[in-house]
Structure 1
Amino acid sequence: MVILRAELLKWKRSWVLWAALLAAAAAPALNGLIFWSTKRLRAAAGQVIDIPWDGFFAQAASFAHLLVYPLLFGFVVTYAVAREFQEGAATNLFALPASRTALLLAKLGAAAVILAVPVVAAVPMTVVAGTPVIGRPPSWAELAGGLQVHLIAGLAQFLLTPLILWLATLTRGYVVPVAAAGSFVVANVVFSMAPGDRFLWWPTALPAWTAQATWVPDLFVHLPAWWVELPPLFLVFLALAAATVARRDVV
């Protein structure tokens, strides 16, 4: 706990948290714009479209996990590790009376706390974006449902971060892990447009499909099986990251 507290203190004055909150606003804004445009077009054609809050929350979370959060989660985890090497602080860090694995887990735990902030903040942001479109604020039950969707999908996204963590410990820089996180976004966009359901099992897209599954019955049937994929990926790459940081020299 002492190590985790020390890691959290490093984030206290960091600009990354504010950037994460700004990034979290992108998906609700995009979702609100899409639904508003659709509503206007339908109204011009004499049609009325009813937009439910559960669908609005699910779609906003899906956009976030398809386009924004892979890069955001990847960058935060990379920043937690790479800055120690880039700023020359790794030597002092590894001199502490704690194992390198404990230090790595503390960094991942601190990153989880930091990432929880934009995930939770995205809920009121979605309310702000959706209320003018839907015409009313969500009920408490709808708000709780939206929070649940964002938290579950956020957990799914977090279970993918050890891959980025391993690349950050392996390269000790920003380029490779952030590029890998960017490739998650590219893969998500490509597979989201692919026909059929055979691409629904691509790991990096599972957080987005998890969010959509709360609203789309055809996706919900896959939900239990999807979660069989994620914990093993988390454990395997976390073990690789721990082994890498334990065996490599400081410089």
Structure 2
Amino acid sequence: MNAVRVEGLKLSRSLVGLISTLAIVLGMVGLLGGITAGVAGGNPDLIAQAGPAATLVWSGLLSGSAQITAVVTILGFGIVLAWIFGREFTDGTITGLFALPISRTRIALAKLAVYLLWATFVSTAIVLGVLVLGLSIGYGPPHSDSWAALGRLWVLAMLSAGIAIPVAWIATLTHSLLPAVGSTIALVVLAQAGALAGAGGWMPLAAPALWAMSGSTAVSLLQLMLTAEFAVVFGALACLSWSRLQLAR
């Protein structure tokens, strides 16, 4: 718990955590608001590109939310995770961790725990932001289907946090921030490529987005669980890599 407390202080007092939180939540709500305004103004190009999100009702707003969340959260979560793990190497503080009376495996677990707590907060803020946006536009109280879609949006954001966990492993292996940030972009590209190739349901990177956008009909629970297993495997690899860290001579 002491390690979790320390890692939490690092994130809460950093500009990276604050800016990323605001960029993900406010950026997404602002983008949704812009799309809605463009559709309401009759922009034909935007309406054609928006697809199901071009309808000015709760279903359209939530469809657009799922599309944006699938990309924005992986990028935002990956950047923060790259900082959480990579900053120790970039700032040279990794050597001091060897002198602490706690194993490096537990330090890595504490970093992951703080990351997941932060991701939970951001995911909840995303859902609340979309809810407030819909109410302020004048869509009225959400009906049962809309509440279910909001729940799927929260799950999508949390699973996206799991999809980004390989970034922690990359940051540890390379002892650097830049390769970790690059791997975040690679995860987004691979997810989009998998969805276009038709392997989305069985591809952990793309399954959550397809599940949320299809109303849970295009992806089975078994396929969705693969994403959770994907996150656990790479989390374990990150902790294993931290347990094997050695001071350079």
Query: For residues 147 and 109 of structure 1, do their structure 2 counterparts lie closer, same or farther at Cα, with a shift above 3 Å needed?
Result: farther
Q: Which residue in 2 is equivalent to 1:10?
A: 10
Instruction: Identify which of 58, 66, 69 aligns with 2:73.
Output: 69
C-alpha deviation, 1:64, in angstroms? 1.7
C-alpha deviation, 1:83, in angstroms? 0.8
Instruction: Identify which of 56, 65, 84 aligns with 2:61.
Output: 56
Q: Which residue in 1 is equivalent to 2:214?
A: 213
Deviation string, structure 1 residues 143-194 (Cα, Å, up to 9, x no partner): 75455223211221122233111111111111111111111222344455x3
Q: 1:1-251 alignment to 2 at 5 Å?
A: 1-20=1-20, 21-41=22-42, 51-66=56-71, 68-131=72-135, 133=137, 135-139=138-142, 144-145=147-148, 147-192=150-195, 194=196, 197-214=198-215, 220-251=217-248
Preserved contact between residue 4 and residue 114 of structure 2 (Cα < 8 Å): yes
How far apart are the structure 2 equivalents of 1:170 and 1:72? Answer: 21
TM-score normalised over the length of structure 2:
0.82
Preserved contact between residue 74 and residue 161 of structure 2 (Cα < 8 Å): no
C-alpha deviation, 1:140, in angstroms? 8.2
C-alpha deviation, 1:98, in angstroms? 1.4
Preserved contact between residue 156 and residue 212 of structure 2 (Cα < 8 Å): yes
Deviation string, structure 1 residues 202-248 (Cα, Å, up to 9, x no partner): 3222232232133xxxx514231322322332232222212211112
Preserved contact between residue 201 and residue 220 of structure 2 (Cα < 8 Å): no
The percentage of counterpart residues that share the same residue type is 27
Query: For residues 22 and 207 of structure 1, do their structure 2 counterparts lie closer, same or farther at Cα, with a shift above 3 Å needed?
Result: same
Deviates more, 1:172-181 or 1:18-27: 18-27
Query: For residues 204 and 39 of structure 1, do their structure 2 counterparts lie closer, same or farther at Cα, with a shift above 3 Å needed?
Result: same
Count of aligned pairs: 238
Query: For residues 146 and 93 of structure 1, do their structure 2 counterparts lie closer, same or farther at Cα, with a shift above 3 Å needed?
Result: farther
Q: Which residue in 1 is equivalent to 2:51?
A: none
Query: For residues 206 and 52 of structure 1, do their structure 2 counterparts lie closer, same or farther at Cα, with a shift above 3 Å needed?
Result: same
Give unpaired runs (5+ residues) of structure 2: 45-53
How far apart are the structure 2 equivalents of 1:222 and 1:12? Answer: 36
How far apart are the structure 2 equivalents of 1:100 and 1:245? Answer: 6
How far apart are the structure 2 equivalents of 1:41 and 1:188? Answer: 31
Greater relative CO, 1 or 2 (CA 8 Å, sep 6+): 1
Deviation string, structure 1 residues 112-155 (Cα, Å, up to 9, x no partner): 1222232222123223443455x234348677545522321122
Query: For residues 155 and 127 of structure 1, do their structure 2 counterparts lie closer, same or farther at Cα, with a shift above 3 Å needed?
Result: closer
Deviates more, 1:228-237 or 1:107-116: 228-237
Query: For residues 124 and 162 of structure 1, do their structure 2 counterparts lie closer, same or farther at Cα, with a shift above 3 Å needed?
Result: closer
